[in-house]
Structure 1
Amino acid sequence: MPTEVTTETRAGVEAGPEDLPVLDSPRKVAPKDARELSKVFFDKLAELEEGTHEYQYARNTLIEMNMSLVRYAAGRFRGARGDEMEDIVQVGTIGLIKAIDRFDLSRQVEFTSFAIPYIVGEIKRFFRDTSWAVHVPRRLQEARLELAKATEELSSRCGRAPTVAELASLMNLSEDEVIEARIASNGYNSASLDAAIGPDGEDDASPLADFIGVEDEALELFEDFHTLAPLLVQLDDRSRRILHLRFVEELTQSEIGSELGISQMHVSRLLSRNLALLRKGMLDES
C-alpha cells in the first residue's frame, strides 16, 4: 500500500519546506515509495542553504526514509561477529549520512546503488579498525568477514560444517588462504586472564591464568649448557681456566692476571677471543 503523505502541517508534525511533503513516520515509508520521495527531497536539498531549518528537515527526512538500506546492509553481517545488530545499524547509519551528503542527482545514478557501498564500507571499517584483540593484516581481517559469510551459507546449504575445500571454492581462494584466514580469526576475540574457568554454578572455579603454560627458563638454560659443553672442551686448558675464574669464581680481570702471571690487558684479549668463539659456535648450532 503506497505511503500516504501530505503537504499540510499536522498536530505534532513539524512543517518542512513549503513544497515538500510532511511525513508522519519517515521510517515507515515503504522502500519503493522511499526511492521516489528521495528524488524529490534531494532535488530540494540542492536548492536549500546548508544549516537552515528547511535544509535540516529535508536531510533528516532522507536519513529516516532510507534506514531500510542500513538494515538491509547490516543483515549481511549477521553472525559475522558478536556485536548487537543495533550497534551495527548505528555504524551503518554513519555511512548512509555520508552517502546523502555526497549524493548528486545530476549523476543519473539511483541513490540506492550509491548508498549501499558507503554503508557496507563503514560497517567493514568498524569491524576492521576497532574489533581485533590482536592486530592482523587488513587482507586477513576482510577475509575473516568473507569466511564467516561463506561458512554460514554453506552450513545452511549442506546441513553440516563446510570443509576447507568447499570454502575455498566458494570464496575463490586457495585452501592455504582459507586456513590462514581461520588462524587469523583467533586474534579477533580475547579473554581476561582473570576469567573464571569451571562448571557453571560452582564456587571453586579457577582463573584462566592458572591453565596457561609459561616458558620454563630452566629448560632454556639447560639447552644452552648442552650446546656450550662440547664447545668448551675444544678450548685449551688456560682458556677454560680463565673462563672459570671470571664467571664461576667471579674474579676481576686484574685478579685473574695476577693468578696466571699475565697482564690484565692480555686477560681481556683472551676473554674477548674465547667468548667470540663460543658465541659463534652456539649461534651456528641453533
Structure 2
Amino acid sequence: MADEQASSPKPRPRRARPGGDPYDNIEPLLAEFGALDADDPHREVLRQRVIERCLPLAENIARKFSGRGENFDDLHQIARVGMVQAVDRFDPSLGTSFLSFAVPTIMGEVRRHFRDRTWALRVPRRLKEIQQTIGPATEELAQRLGRMPKAREIAEEIGAELTEVTQALIARNAYQTAPIDPTPSSGDDGSPVSVLDTLGADEPSYRTIEDYLAVKPLIAALPEQQRQVLIMRFFQSMSQAQIAEQLGCSQMNVSRILSKTLNTLREQALRD
C-alpha cells in the first residue's frame, strides 16, 4: 500500500470548484480519522462521513464498467466495497491525494470481480488475466498499425506467449453462455423462444444410417445366393423378373428367396 502511494508525487493543494465534489479537500478529514484510536467512538462517525461523501466516486467508476454483461447494481456494490477499502487503507501522511489512491483501488476491485466471478465456465486464472489485457492492447495496436493486429503481435505487445494469447481468445467464448430455456425475447406470435427451438429439426437420415450400420454385418454373413438377390433387388433396383432371368430360375423362386432373406435379417437385427 505504501509503495502505491509513495510512487505518486505530492500534489498541489486543489482549489474547490463551484459547488465542489463531495471528495474535494477530503484529505484533512481522512487525516483526522486516521489519527483517532481504533476504539474511539468518534472514529466510526468520521469514517461514515468520509464513505458517504465518496459514494459518487464509486458510482461513477461502476458506470464505466456497465454494459459488459453485468448488472449495474452488482457493479455498484463491488465499487462501494473497493471504495470502503480505499478509505480504510489510505495513509494521508504520505502526502498523496485521496483520489489518486482511491480510483485504482476501486477499479482494481471491479476488475477482480470480472476476472473471478463473471465467467460462465471455469477458465484458468492466467487466461482470465491475459484476456483482460487483450482488449486495450488490440485497440492500441489497431491505431498504430492501421489494421487489426495478429495474435503474435498482441502476444509481443502484452509480453505473453502466443499459445497463451490464442487460448485466451478462445476462452472468451466461455465468458457468457446462452440459456436453452425460453426467454422473454419471443417469436413473431409473442410466444417465448428457446435456443433449442432455433436449432432445427431432427435429421431423419440419422435413423437410416443407424439401420444401415446394424444390418451391414448381417448382410455380409448371408449365403452367397441370398446376398446376391438382395443386392440386385435393393441396390441395383432390378425387378424380380430380371433377377430370375439372370439367375436362371423362376420369379416365384426369387420371391421366396427375398422373403426368407428379409425375415432372417429382421429377426437378427431385432434380436441383436
TM range (shorter): 0.5 to 0.7
The Cα shift of 1:92 comes to: 1.9
In structure 2, stretches of 5+ residues that fail to align are 1-13, 218-270
The equivalent of 2:117 in structure 1 is: 130
Instruction: Give the superposed CA RMSD.
Output: 4.6
State the TM-score, normalized to the length of structure 1: 0.51
The higher relative CO (CA closer than 8 Å, separation ≥ 6) is in 2
Question: Which amino acid letter does the alignment assign opposite residue 26 of structure 2?
Answer: S
Misfit runs of 4+, over 6 Å: 156-159, 196-199
In the aligned structure 1, how far is the partner of 2:142 from the partner of 2:63?
A: 17
In the superposition, the TM-score normalised over structure 2's length comes to 0.54
Identity rate, percent: 31
User: 1:179 matched to which residue of 2?
Assistant: 166
Q: How far does residue 39 in structure 1 lie from its aligned partner after superposition?
A: 2.2
Q: Deviations over 1:92-147 (max 9, x none)?
A: 22112112112233445543444344323311221133211111111112222222
Aligned to 1:163: 150
- Taking the aligned partners of 1:130 and 1:108, their CA distance within structure 2 comes to 35
Deviation digits for residues 127-177 of structure 1 (CA, Å, limit 9, x no counterpart): 133211111111112222222333444556667644323432332223322
Q: Between Structure 1 and Structure 2, how many residues are aligned?
A: 200
Map 1:95-174 onto structure 2 (within 5 A): 95-154=82-141, 161-174=148-161
Distance in 2 between the 1:94 and 1:198 partners? Answer: 34
Correspondences of 1:20-39 after superposition (within 5 Å): 28-29=21-22, 34=24, 37-39=25-27
Q: Contact 2:87–2:102 (CA<8 Å) still a contact in 1?
A: yes
Amino acid at match of 1:208: V
The reply to whether residue 46 of structure 1 matches residue 21 of structure 2 is no
Counterpart residue type for residue 137 of structure 1: P
1:1-286 alignment, distance < 5 Å: 2-3=15-16, 28-29=21-22, 34=24, 37-48=25-36, 54-66=42-54, 70=58, 74=62, 77=65, 81-84=68-71, 87-154=74-141, 161-195=148-182, 201=188, 207-210=194-197, 211=199
- The separation in 2 between residues aligned to 1:166 and 1:68, in whole angstroms, is 39
Are 1:197 and 1:208, in contact at CA under 8 Å, matched by a contact in 2?
no
In the alignment, structure 1 segments of 5+ residues that lack a partner are 6-24, 227-248, 250-286
